[in-house]
Chain A
Amino acid sequence: MQNSELSQTYKEYLLILKECSPYDFSEYSDNSIDRRIQKIRHDYHLSMPDLIQKTKSDPEFVEQVVEAITVNTTELFRDPKVWNQLRQKVLPTFKNHPKINIWHAGCSTGQEVYSLIILLDDLNLLDKAAIYATDISQKALEHAKRGSYRFSFNYEKYLTNFQGAFEQSDTPDIKKYFNINESKDTISIKPQFLGRVKYIKHDLVKEELPFYNKFDLIFCRNVLIYFNGALQTKIVQRFHDNLFPGGNMVLGSHETLNGFFKTKFAKNGPVYARTNSFHLKY
């Protein structure tokens, strides 16, 4: 279950994966990637040599490996306090912008994409928004496009989060945004809120980005925790480069930036505003 004693093995595997596929997991954090690979071997009943052999010879299997490595945990308005902060403090600053460019980096199955759409709609900002959402997992993207989730296990939590996001103001009826069908066990975003997002398969580790514009808001929640420090730095630098001055980056509630970046962003909880210059204290 924990780190295999032969830690070389999975590192070797990652190098082979990098050589014979477009995917590079070599800078993922050791502990978590080791655990994911052990899970794959367990689920597919594969020894390490078998896994390597299959990876070299079967591109479809490689896609399955990528899906299995990816962690897709997400929920509607996860950490409602953050969404409340966005609704009350951050999004209103875009009122006079002609356009709001938004990127969900590592959007998973889309719950947080729709969380933001709901807040934008509530603030009458949705028509100004250009929303891009990327993920390494094709399966997750397809699910995100459908915007339909299981009712059981989710609804109670989603409703509590929804109410938390609107605390201190008029909470709209959740049915304004979702069709709820208990017999089919679904909670689905209403059709008028679908089709407003450009979903693109993209591996964050790769240098080139699939868009040409800069952003006012970048969401990257609970993704960086799977990367090692060096890769985190690289990605955060890329976010910084692609934010307009004053633009905001939103991380997971238990993710922070290391020392160097503390001068490039002004932190307010998990919301990081890109500053124009270094804060030099002499």
Chain B
Amino acid sequence: MQATDFKIVVIGGSAGSFSVVSAILASIHPQFKIPIVLCLHRLKHVRSGLVEGLSLKSVIKVLEPNDKEKLQYNHVYLAPANYHLFLELDGTIALSTEESFNHSRPSIDYTLSSAAYVYREKALGILLTGANKDGAYGMKDIAGKKGFTIVQDPATCDIDTMPRSALQLFDPNLILSPKEIVQFLNTLPH
């Protein structure tokens, strides 16, 4: 049932997601090919240090991209603080300082929806723990374009508002624990 030729992985998360993302990046295959885009909400006054924090354990290079930067294999792109991140048709990243969406900048919905529009059935969206509904509509957009969707099992979430909002909107392909998410990712070609 599962498509394996994904061209992009987008992971969204908020409260409690740092340790989950950190664990994923620590145990993913070091040659994991598909570009991973992270859109994570940050604490209001802690704007820097996230890329450094994630890099500590990550086996793949993590960076905050510049506007119009081209996506590369085996890289992790973290949406910079205070910018929305969009994926573009030409394989580049676009940043924007437009109004906050869902009280968030970066907004997970924006990043996921742009992935749905550009990559359609070749997009893999993963929504993690969080205390806000941002990301739910973006995940639904990915599902709507026949992309693949994974929502973190609310029972394993620090705060389950984010995954629950998504589950109210649509049925994802899989509902998984953080460990199972890593296992799933490592079944993908590297």
* Bound form: Cα–Cα A256–B96 in Å: 14
Is A86 close to B, CB under 8 A? no
Within 8 A of A (CB), among B13-71: 44-45, 48, 64-69
The residues of B that contact A36 with a CB separation of less than 8 Å are 98
Is A32 close to B, CB under 8 A? yes
Given A157-B45, A160-B45, A254-B66, A29:B94 Cβ within 8 A: yes
Q: Could you say which of A53-61, A172-180, A188-196, A222-230 contacts chain B? A: A222-230
Q: Report the interface size for chain B: residues with CB under 8 A from the other chain.
A: 28
Is A31 close to B, CB under 8 A? yes
Once the chains bind, are A225 and B45 in contact (CB under 8 Å)? no
12 further interface pairs, Cβ-Cβ under 8 Å (given A31-B114, A71-B96, A256-B68): A1-B137, A32-B96, A32-B98, A71-B97, A73-B97, A81-B48, A225-B68, A226-B96, A254-B67, A254-B83, A254-B95, A255-B66
**CB closest chain-B residue, reference A1:** B113
* Bound form: Cα–Cα A265–B174 in Å: 49
Once the chains bind, are A254 and B80 in contact (CB under 8 Å)? yes
The residues of B that contact A32 with a CB separation of less than 8 Å are 86, 94, 96, 98
The residues of A that contact B110 with a CB separation of less than 8 Å are 1-2
* Bound form: Cα–Cα A156–B67 in Å: 28
Contacts across chains A and B counted by CB atoms under 8 Å: 64
The residues of A that contact B83 with a CB separation of less than 8 Å are 254
Is A47 close to B, CB under 8 A? no
**CB closest chain-B residue, reference A78:** B82
Once the chains bind, are B98 and A256 in contact (CB under 8 Å)? no
The residues of B that contact A254 with a CB separation of less than 8 Å are 64-67, 80, 83, 95
Once the chains bind, are B45 and A255 in contact (CB under 8 Å)? no
Shortest distance between the CB of A268 and any CB in chain B (Å) = 15
8 Å CB contact of A225 from B67, B116, B117? B67
Is A64 close to B, CB under 8 A? no
Is A201 close to B, CB under 8 A? no
For this complex, 7 residue pairs linking A to B, each with C-beta atoms less than 8 Å apart, are A2-B110, A71-B97, A71-B98, A78-B82, A224-B67, A252-B97, A256-B67
The residues of A that contact B45 with a CB separation of less than 8 Å are 156-157, 160
* Bound form: Cα–Cα A156–B98 in Å: 21
Is A3 close to B, CB under 8 A? yes
Within 8 A of A (CB), among B101-140: 109-110, 113-114, 116-117, 137
The residues of B that contact A264 with a CB separation of less than 8 Å are none
Is A253 close to B, CB under 8 A? yes
8 Å CB contact of B95 from A35, A78, A225? A225
* Bound form: Cα–Cα A36–B68 in Å: 19
Once the chains bind, are B95 and A1 in contact (CB under 8 Å)? no
Given A31-B86, A71-B96, A225-B94, A2:B117 Cβ within 8 A: yes
Interface centre among A2, A35, A222, by most chain B C-beta atoms within 10 angstroms, is A2
* Bound form: Cα–Cα A215–B21 in Å: 46
Within 8 A of A (CB), among B132-166: 137, 141
Shortest distance between the CB of A226 and any CB in chain B (Å) = 7
8 Å CB contact of A2 from B68, B80, B99, B114? B114
Once the chains bind, are B96 and A225 in contact (CB under 8 Å)? yes
Shortest distance between the CB of B146 and any CB in chain A (Å) = 15
The residues of A that contact B116 with a CB separation of less than 8 Å are 2
Once the chains bind, are A157 and B67 in contact (CB under 8 Å)? no
A245-260 CB contact bits vs B (8 Å, 1 = yes)? 0000000111110000
Shortest distance between the CB of A191 and any CB in chain B (Å) = 30
* Bound form: Cα–Cα A222–B116 in Å: 26
Shortest distance between the CB of B85 and any CB in chain A (Å) = 10
Given A2-B117, A157-B44, A31:B80 Cβ within 8 A: no
Once the chains bind, are A2 and B96 in contact (CB under 8 Å)? no
The residues of A that contact B64 with a CB separation of less than 8 Å are 254
The residues of A that contact B65 with a CB separation of less than 8 Å are 254
Given A156-B45, A254-B64, A225:B97 Cβ within 8 A: yes
Shortest distance between the CB of A179 and any CB in chain B (Å) = 24
The residues of A that contact B96 with a CB separation of less than 8 Å are 32, 71, 225-226
* Bound form: Cα–Cα A39–B121 in Å: 27
The residues of B that contact A222 with a CB separation of less than 8 Å are 97
The residues of B that contact A157 with a CB separation of less than 8 Å are 44-45
* Bound form: Cα–Cα A256–B82 in Å: 17
* Bound form: Cα–Cα A175–B80 in Å: 31
